[in-house]
């Protein structure tokens, strides 16, 4: 590495640090890069000034004051950037639901304050505000519905009759009756949340998700599990399934209604549908919509429609009632970045979870989407061989996975999965002989290619756990495979992958999410459990024979990524 500056990349947030000296670089100054743009937009809301607020997963809250043309992050005071819902009261005070409770902004999002007094269960996933500006907050399983009658200053739990405390959606009609969507049908309160009654008549699918209520107080309910849309014309007492024209998946995660009482349904995988006759019939309206996983809607006073997407595609806007859509992500820095790597020319490559690959040639100032030839979108690993060829590994969440190769710096990609029996690729590493190793999940184990990815051989002899999350190669070309879900830990191969030996002496946590090796061949293993009970970081200075816990000062032991910066004075490890 050149001595002029140091670059530190933090996975998921994609932050890069530039400083003049190693002593001042670490943690002294951080600057978020200008992209890549996009992200998971879980909630959209429009205030009285027609400013659009977007609650994202990982990017916090973003605001657009020009109808979505440009976005800026407004996270001052937020202690978490995972936003499940955004709601705005009559005074334009904004409320954000997070996994750390509710935050309030009284200055259009410039500053946020936590308002959690009495909110005993802080994992909030839904919000609604009635005509009196009373706020209702629905929780992840374990809480229920909380109510605040004083602008969020204090909260009380209101669950009398609410038999399910997993409240995914809330809706309020013109009479201030409240409706709660849970995994056990729908509940209604006609007394401001004091009491709840379960509404089951006609709802054949119990996985309720979202509401929309029109000017006649007809209620539309979106469900998962193939239920589609249900409608009630008598305040929820009876429901009718109204799916004519919806596709077979019928997973509806978002609903909204414009000023003409036209209903819009956002589906998980099939884009947007519109009904102009109160739900009796639906038409798919996806022209220009490249993100098909719709989880939120927002509509302004001009009936411009904004869709928030899951799996990284950001926000789309339609100014013609949904007939055409345009992606509007400029400044929307909420992309879920899973892997970052730089080549010998200091081009930076970012692999995202849902949006594919991006490249920056100016130290993160600008990013170019480079997905030509890619049939996968969920990238987990990037490696370069001695010729500068790029190999990117992807798992197959909602799309094809596998290994992809680029010989032109990412301008185009070729899928190179020949002979691989699984394409759920979690790690790619290359040794000094340009042999490529791919670690796969769901029983695939490790694959090796000796011909630049043209063909692969499965090499699992001795590998008793074939769920491989991570790979690392030391200066002697010995390979280390980190496994998960089997209780095994780390395996080592000293013969180019032909044989593997379990080396877990001292490992008290065996879900190995990340491994790195420093310039002295000391191995570091970051552990992470799918249940959130990782054991932190372990190191081995004897080629994996024994491991020592290295958690002094580490306050979170669920370690998803490790990276090393090397200097003349020593190596620095980041978790």
Render pLDDT for 82-98 as a digit per residue (tens, 0 to 9): 999 999 999 999 999 99
Q: What is the band of 533 on the pLDDT scale with cuts at 50, 70, 90? A: low
Separation between Cα atoms, residue 294 and residue 5, nearest integer Å = 41
Separation between Cα atoms, residue 357 and residue 371, nearest integer Å = 6
Q: What is the mean pLDDT of the chain?
A: 90
Contacts of 205 (CB under 8 A, 6+ apart): 223, 224, 225, 226, 227, 228, 230
Q: Is the peptide bond before 491 cis (omega within 30 degrees of 0)?
A: no
Q: Could you tell me which residue, 532 or 422, shows the higher pLDDT? A: 422
Q: What is the pLDDT of residues 227-277, one digit of tens each?
A: 899 999 999 999 999 999 998 788 999 999 999 999 999 999 999 999 999
Q: Strand, coil or helix: what is 85?
A: strand
Average pLDDT over residues 171-197: 96
The confidence score (pLDDT) of residue 572 equals 83
Average pLDDT over residues 417-438: 93
Through-space distance between the first and last CA atoms of the chain, rounded to whole angstroms: 20
Query: Which residues lie across from 379 on neighbouring strands?
Result: 394
In terms of C-beta distances under 8 Å and separation of at least 24 residues, what long-range contacts does 414-421 make, across chains too? 414/373, 415/373, 415/375, 416/391, 416/449, 416/452, 416/453, 416/454, 417/456, 418/454, 418/455, 418/456, 419/447, 419/455, 419/456, 419/457, 419/458, 420/444, 420/447, 420/456, 420/458, 421/458
Q: Kindly give the residue spans of alpha helices, DSSP state H, lying in 9-116.
A: 22-25
Separation between Cα atoms, residue 361 and residue 358, nearest integer Å = 10
Separation between Cα atoms, residue 7 and residue 10, nearest integer Å = 10
Q: Could you tell me which residue, 97 or 203, shows the higher pLDDT? A: 97
**What is the model's pTM?**
0.81
Average pLDDT over residues 95-109: 97
The confidence score (pLDDT) of residue 26 equals 44
pLDDT at 445 over 50: yes
pLDDT at 530 over 80: no
Range in 10-24, 55-69, 355-369, 466-480 the model is least confident about: 10-24
Residue with tokens 């490890």, as numbered in its chain: 573
Burial class of residue 572, CB neighbours in 10 A (0-12, 13-18, 19+): middle
The confidence score (pLDDT) of residue 316 equals 97
The confidence score (pLDDT) of residue 532 equals 52
Q: Which of 401, 429, 358 has its CA nearest to residue 34?
A: 358
The confidence score (pLDDT) of residue 17 equals 34
pLDDT at 114 over 80: yes
Separation between Cα atoms, residue 514 and residue 536, nearest integer Å = 11
474 backbone dihedrals φ, ψ, rounded to 5°: -90, -175
Residue with tokens 């020009």, as numbered in its chain: 66
Separation between Cα atoms, residue 529 and residue 101, nearest integer Å = 24
**Chain centroid to CA 146:** 26
């Amino acid at each position: 590495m050149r001595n002029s500056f140091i670059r530190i990349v933090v996975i998921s947030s994609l932050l890069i640090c530039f400083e003049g000296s190693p002593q001042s670089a670490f943690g002294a100054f951080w600057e978020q890069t200008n992209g890549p743009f996009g992200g998971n937009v879980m909630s959209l809301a429009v205030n009285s000034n027609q400013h659009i607020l977007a609650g994202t997963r990982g990017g916090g809250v973003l605001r657009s004051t020009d109808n979505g043309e440009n976005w800026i992050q407004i996270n001052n005071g937020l202690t978490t950037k995972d936003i499940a819902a955004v709601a705005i009261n009559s005074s334009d005070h904004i409320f954000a639901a997070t996994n750390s409770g509710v935050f309030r902004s009284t200055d259009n999002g410039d500053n946020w304050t936590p308002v959690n007094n009495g909110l005993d269960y802080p994992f909030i996933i839904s919000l609604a505000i009635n005509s009196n500006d009373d706020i209702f907050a629905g929780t992840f399983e374990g809480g229920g519905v909380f109510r605040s009658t004083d602008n969020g200053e204090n909260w009380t739990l209101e669950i009398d009759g609410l038999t399910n405390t997993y409240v995914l959606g809330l809706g309020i009609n013109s009479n201030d009756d409240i409706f709660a969507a849970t995994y056990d049908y729908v509940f209604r309160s006609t007394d401001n949340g004091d009491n709840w009654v379960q509404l089951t008549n006609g709802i054949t699918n119990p996985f309720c998700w979202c509401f929309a209520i029109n000017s006649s107080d007809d209620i539309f309910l979106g469900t998962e599990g193939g239920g589609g849309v249900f409608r009630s014309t008598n305040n929820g007492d009876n429901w009718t399934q109204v799916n004519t024209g919806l596709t077979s998946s019928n997973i509806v995660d978002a609903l909204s209604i414009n000023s003409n009482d036209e209903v819009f349904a956002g589906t998980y995988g099939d884009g947007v549908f519109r009904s102009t006759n109160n739900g009796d019939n639906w038409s798919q309206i996806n022209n220009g919509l490249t993100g098909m996983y719709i989880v939120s809607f927002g509509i302004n006073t001009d009936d411009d429609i904004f869709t928030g997407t899951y799996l990284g595609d950001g926000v789309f806007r339609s100014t013609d009632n949904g007939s055409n859509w345009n992606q509007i992500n400029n400044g929307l820095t909420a992309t879920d970045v899973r892997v970052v790597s730089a080549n010998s020319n200091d081009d930076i490559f970012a692999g995202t979870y849902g949006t594919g690959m991006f490249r920056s040639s100016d130290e993160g100032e600008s990013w170019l989407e480079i997905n030509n030839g890619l049939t996968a979108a969920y990238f987990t690993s990037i490696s370069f061989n001695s010729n500068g060829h790029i190999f990117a590994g992807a798992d197959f969440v909602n799309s094809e996975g596998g290994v992809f190769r680029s010989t032109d710096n990412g301008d185009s990609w070729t899928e190179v999965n020949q002979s691989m029996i699984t394409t759920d690729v979690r790690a790619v590493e290359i040794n000094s002989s340009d042999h490529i190793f791919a670690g796969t999940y769901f029983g695939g184990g490790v694959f090796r290619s000796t011909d630049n990815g043209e063909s692969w051989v499965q090499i699992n002899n001795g590998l008793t756990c074939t769920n491989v999350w991570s790979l690392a190669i030391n200066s002697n070309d010995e390979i280390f495979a980190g496994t998960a879900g089997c209780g095994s830990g780390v395996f080592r191969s000293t013969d180019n992958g032909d044989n593997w030996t379990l080396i877990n002496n001292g490992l008290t946590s065996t879900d190995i999410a990340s491994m790195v090796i420093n310039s002295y061949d000391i191995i570091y293993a970051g552990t992470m459990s799918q249940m959130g009970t990782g054991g932190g970081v372990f190191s081995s200075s004897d080629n994996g024979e024994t491991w020592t816990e290295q958690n002094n000062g580490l306050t979170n032991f669920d370690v998803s990524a490790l990276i090393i910066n090397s200097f003349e004075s020593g190596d620095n490890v980041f978790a």
